[in-house]
């Protein structure tokens, strides 16, 4: 069986939320099997955007220690954050903080440890750095822009 192409998006803000929507809407055209996204903080004010993202077919991943709080607020996680990262072929980090850590040798080493094909890329979108960790040679040939 061929390796699934799973894209994991970290962050649901100005960049992450629309990216989740775009990738979920066009996942067949992009050759993506699954979209997952990480939401760190359970906020009632974010419930609608999380619900819409899930209705579009994306799967919510949360930190283990915050799982119950999401459920109590009416959001239903599908995965723990660590599991989503381990399953992902591509990780797109749309968080605006800690970019210096994303470029560190430790971050690249961590990504490389997940797969023998792993590599990191740093890009910019509207002034926010985006870290991509690729863990599949198949993704590179399917999405040469990555």
Taking phi over 0 as left and psi of -120 to 50 as alpha, with beta for the rest, 36 belongs to: beta
Residues pairing with 38 in the sheet: 10, 61
Q: How far apart are CA 83 and CA 23, in angstroms?
A: 20
Q: How far apart are CA 5 and CA 103, in angstroms?
A: 24
Q: What tens digit of pLDDT does each residue of 88-122 get? A: 888 888 887 655 555 555 444 444 444 433 334 43
Q: Which 3 state secondary structure label does DSSP give 108?
A: helix
Residue 135 lies in a domain: yes
Question: What total number of domains does the chain contain?
Answer: 1
Q: Residue 89 has what pLDDT?
A: 86
Give the CA distances from residue 84 to residues 29, 92, 126, in Å, rounded to whole numbers and listed in that order: 22, 12, 26
Record the tokens describing residue 82, joined without a space: 């660590």
Residue 58 lies in a domain: no
User: 140: pLDDT confidence band, cut at 50, 70 and 90?
Assistant: very low
Q: What tens digit of pLDDT does each residue of 66-77 get? A: 999 999 999 999
pLDDT at 10 over 50: yes
Residue 42 lies in a domain: no
Q: Residue 66 has what pLDDT?
A: 97
Q: How far apart are CA 61 and CA 135, in angstroms?
A: 19
Residue 51 lies in a domain: no
Residue 61 lies in a domain: no
**13: containing domain:** 6-37+79-142
Residue 98 lies in a domain: yes
What is the percent of the chain where pLDDT is above 70? 64
Region 6-31: mean pLDDT is 92
Residue 138 lies in a domain: yes
pTM of the model: 0.71
Residue 29 lies in a domain: yes
What is the percent of the chain where pLDDT is above 90? 49
Query: What contacts 47, CB < 8 A, 6 or more positions away?
Result: 73, 74, 75
Q: Residue 105 has what pLDDT?
A: 52
Mean pLDDT for all residues in the chain: 76
Give which of 21, 18, 9 is closest to 94, Cα–Cα. Answer: 9
Q: Residue 42 has what pLDDT?
A: 95
């Amino acid at each position: 069986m061929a390796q699934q192409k799973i894209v994991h998006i970290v962050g649901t803000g100005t960049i992450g939320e629309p990216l989740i929507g775009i990738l979920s809407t066009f996942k067949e055209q992009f050759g993506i099997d699954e979209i997952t996204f990480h939401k760190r903080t359970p906020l009632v004010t974010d419930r609608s955007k999380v619900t819409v993202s899930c209705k579009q077919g994306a799967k919510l991943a949360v930190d283990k220690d915050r799982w119950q709080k999401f459920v109590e607020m009416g959001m239903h996680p599908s995965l723990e954050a660590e599991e989503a990262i381990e399953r992902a072929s591509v990780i797109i980090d749309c968080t605006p903080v800690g970019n210096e850590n994303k470029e560190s040798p430790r971050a690249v080493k961590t990504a490389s440890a997940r797969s023998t094909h792993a590599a990191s890329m740093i890009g910019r979108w509207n002034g926010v750095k985006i870290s991509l960790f690729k863990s599949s040679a198949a993704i590179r040939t399917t999405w040469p822009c990555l």
